Amino acid sequence: MKKTTTALVAGILTALPWAVMAEDSSDPIVIPVHNWSSQIVMSNVVGQIFEEMGLNVEYVTTDSQAVYESVRLGDVTLEMEVWEGAFGASFRAAMEKGGIVDVGDHDAVTREDWWYPMWTKEACPGLPSWEALNDCAELFQTAETGEKGRYLDGPVDWLKHGQERVEALDMDFVVVNAGSAAALWAEIGAAEADQKPIVVFNWTPNFAEAVWPGEFVEFPTWVDGCDKDPSVGPNPDALYDCGNPADGYLKKAAWDGMEDKWPSAYAVLEKISFTNPQIAEMARLVDVDELEPEEAAEEWLATNEDVWRSWVE
C-alpha cells in the first residue's frame, strides 16, 4: 500500500515540471557575455530558456579569457561557447585548478584562423598555403605596415598569438589587432568594392561565410602542445608555429556548484547542443539583420521551438 502511494507521488512529481524546478535556487544564474555575436545571442537564448522554466537569470559582460577563472570561482555560472582555438588554453588551465566542469560539446565543429575573401586568391593564386601567402606579402602592404603585409587579427582578448606566429614562421607580416569584431566586418566590406586583397582573422560557424565566400590560410597543422612546447611544430625553437585546430571543439562549461544549486537548469545545459548552421544563424540575426541580442534570441527561440523544447521536456 505504502509502495503504491510512493509510486503515485513520484508519478505526479515527474508529471509536474514546477515540482522538479522547485529544487532550483531562486538566485540568478549568472551568464557571461563577450564580444562576438553568436556567443551573445546563444547566451540570451539559453537565459530565456531558463526564464521559461521559471528560473532567474542575470547577464554580465566579461573578458573572454578571464571568464574561466570566474566560472571556476562560481562568480559566473556557466560559459556557452568554449572555442578550442581561442580559449582551449584558459579552459584547460582552469580545469587543472578545479571548480569548473566540462558540460560536453556542441554538435558544431569550429575553426578560427587567418582568412581571406575569395577575390584575394585571384591576386595570390598559390593560396591557401601560408608559404604562398608569405610570398605575396607585398600585396597586403599598407602605409601603416610599410614593406610588410598587414594582417588584421581579432581583438586582443581572443589571444590568437598572431604576432608570435609571424615570428615563429618568419613571415613578412605585421599583426594589427582589431578593436572589435565589427572592425573585421568593416575591413572585409571596404575591401569588397575594389576587390582589394586582404587577410583577416575569421571563424566558423559565423554569419560571414554566407556573405563573403572565402578560405582559411593553411598553416602547419595544429599539434597538441604547439602552444606549450617549442619542439612541437616546424620551428624547433618557437611556440605558436602551427595553425589553430581545423576541426576544433565548441564546449559548454559550468561552475562545479551549478548542478547542486540549479539541478534542472544543469540538466538542460547538459542536453543543449547547437549545430554550425544554428550558430551561424544566431550571429546573422545581429550582424546582418541588426537585431538587438535579446530580440535575436527571441526570434531564434520562436523559429526553433522544435529544437529546444525537447531539451526542456
Among 86, 101, 191, 217, binds ligand TMO (CB under 6 A): 86
Sign of CA pseudo-dihedral 50, 55, 60, 62: negative
Complete DSSP assignment for 37-66 = HHHHHHHHHHHHHHHHTT--EEEEE--TTT
User: Quick one: 154 or 214, whose CB is closer to ligand TMO?
Assistant: 154
Minimum CB separation of residue 37 from ligand TMO in Å reads 9
Residue 77 near residue 71 (C-beta atoms within 8 A): yes
Q: How far is the CB of 237 from ligand TMO (least distance, A)?
A: 27
Are 94 and 230 in contact, with CB atoms under 8 Å apart? Answer: no
Residue 33-62 contact track with ligand TMO, rule CB under 6 A, x = bound: ---x--------------------------
Q: Residues in contact with ligand TMO, total (CB under 6 A)?
A: 7
Under rule CB under 6 A, which residues in 98-117 are in contact with ligand TMO? 112
Shortest distance (Å) from residue 284 CB to ligand TMO: 15
Alpha-carbon distance 146 to 144, whole Å?
6
| In the complex, least distance from residue 136 CB atom to ligand TMO, rounded to whole angstroms | 24
In order of 33, 280, 301, the CA distances from 207 in angstroms are 18, 5, 18
Q: What residues does 175 pair with on adjacent strands?
A: 151
Residue with cell 589587432: 177
Of 178, 172, 104, 93, which Cα lies nearest the Cα of 138? 172
Asked if residue 266 binds ligand TMO (CB under 6 A), the reply is no
Residue with smaller CB distance to ligand TMO, 185 or 203: 203
- Minimum separation from the CB atom of position 35 to ligand TMO (A): 8
Give CA–CA dist 43/282, Å, rounded.
10
Nearest one of 21, 15, 13, 72 to 256, comparing CA atoms: 72
Q: Which of residues 165-224 bind ligand TMO (CB under 6 A)?
A: 203
Q: Which is nearer to ligand TMO, 203 or 300 (CB)?
A: 203
CB of 180 to ligand TMO, least distance (A): 11
**Exactly one of 83, 116, 266, 300 binds ligand TMO (CB under 6 A); which one?**
83
**C-alpha 115: how far from chain center:** 16
By CB under 6 A, name the one of 59, 115, 158, 216 that touches ligand TMO: 158
Query: Which grid cell is 130?
Result: 601560408
Nearer to ligand TMO, 34 or 150 (CB): 34
> Contact at 8 Å (CB) between 49 and 76?
no
- How near is the Cβ of 36 to ligand TMO at its closest, in Å? 4
Binding site for ligand TMO (CB under 6 A): 36, 83, 86, 112, 154, 158, 203
